[in-house]
Structure 1
């Protein structure tokens, strides 16, 4: 029978930027944690897994792969041998009982922080990189659920410190660079939390540090992430020339030239900065380039964790902002509805932000009562959750425009009286 390439394993390795040699080392480290003796998995072994020549690794390697990846062997594309289904099932049950305690213990060891007070691991390798990457992904998920807050910021900065200390003990230059990249990722995550919470001065200092770390890592993806956040920070500060410059710096990164999704995001950020700068024509041109780039992207291609937020829904939201700022509120309203239709219900903060921009578009068309009703939905969406500083500022923009366009309208005063407390509470 012809061998089938293991696409699931290849996809996991690509998503985690892991070479065959690094996966082999991580598996050997996991086996060492299980048995007390390092494994003997080689780069050639991993190539045999990828090619389909070996479709069912030996027992210890399967368990080690699960510890390293967090996925079962079958999830990673391996196919059990089942010449005798009954005996295979029985054998698997024995193996499961034999290793469950060891595997659980090893998993806890890999998940635990590697540097407690006074502790210095003797060697730092790919397993440590994977452990820290999982921590970054967890923080990104927490941000998606709760927004920027002090605990997330603290944990992100602690993760950056861990990565910086660990790189001094890295076994290879590649591991050292990946640890610097993770330090940049943690630091950028902390900066984003600060931006969302409205701590703009602290965010700027954090991004300066993140850019330095990304440069030390020689990682274009991390560099792009920092410039993207720098563009967002500049916009929050009202420095639109800097916002455009930062977005164009993001566009010039290697990853943006190679990845249509990254390029789309950079063009979209450029469009926002140009719109606020008053360059209407260039803003719409950049927005069109963002749309073209995203339509050319492969929707099945893996993306780094920090880019998980970006897709059609986010581009519709940015489109709504740009078209409203350049004086096309009716087109902004349509884009806002598209963003809300594309956003899953679980993304409460994104839905609330899109709803604010929908209300602004309605207000700028003179539909005051509808705009007030729409803006009130923000508080329903965010019920039970503190409204982040960035969202409070957007609500402040809505109130300002509401009183500018309808200073004597009863609904304007009613909106302020009803929502003052929940809107303005830090």
Structure 2
């Protein structure tokens, strides 16, 4: 076994190790009381990231710092609470030990809330050559790529090269795909003609591809049709019932034997859970999600739980598990807070029941789709609701204020001023002198 992680002794308290500070892990960590537990939060980053707005970072709408909030600031006044930045490598359930990149740690209860990553369905070439959108680093890379494409297009006299640089393909017709498509369409209309007057911006192509027969399959048919019509009016080319076979040498090959030449491919076609190894094989389900019972306890374990995107809870209403969105993660975390306390008090546990509060997605300026249980609306009212809910969901008053200012400035001036190409230094500095 590797060296032990440097964590203060838990004393007479039970130690809860939470792996992942996303929506579920953060909710759990904030709501758990310290009277019975020592809490250890592990994450690869030192901040909580509001992923739903990453597409706005990628399209130069907001800064990444505005949707990120440091864990240590959130929990700075908590006792018996410890944060370690590391990667969870392997769980050893027989010994109640978790191995990480900075050493091993014992636990009384382990909560896996590691979220998910982009699913490339085994195609390593596509993984290497396309843009994904799950982390801050990826969003900044995408922003650089988008802006650099227009700089390069302006500098080349080769028409074919220019067309590749000005063709943007989004693979995946879910919420992220349509939000990216709408944001790029807004850039083409309001921003790029001013920034690049020497380019014919009308030559820019935005292509949205999905293997399903309609966009936003989690929404109603009416919403899917409305979104498709709106995007097409904005000049987005929507291709349905088509899957991607390969992407090589700037050529995207599709299942109907056609191909698209493009230097810019966004891959948002699916996700795969970040479940760590070490658990029994029967605990892993489709897309690497961890099978859990009605109390979010991992199948075959007594003190290991999984919540959020990582968890696969099969119910009559959700035979393929709950949707991998924010609300199930938050609700499962809230339920698990009570159950962990009930276990210590020898009180019967509460089974988890998901309360679907509805779905929403924005498709552009003054337009969004909101679907509640019995209410569906779109247009400006839906867009205002989308703005408000996302703004209130962000951690930190300062972050909310910054995003509100960015949104209002962009709304009234049609000109977000964040179009910076910032690259990390990729070589050692010359130390002479």
Range into which the TM-score falls when normalised by the shorter chain:
under 0.3
Q: For CA contacts below 8 A with separation 6 or more, give which structure has more relative contact order.
A: 2
Tell me the TM-score normalised to structure 2 length. 0.25
Q: Whose strand proportion is higher, 1 or 2?
A: 2
Bigger radius of gyration among the two: 1
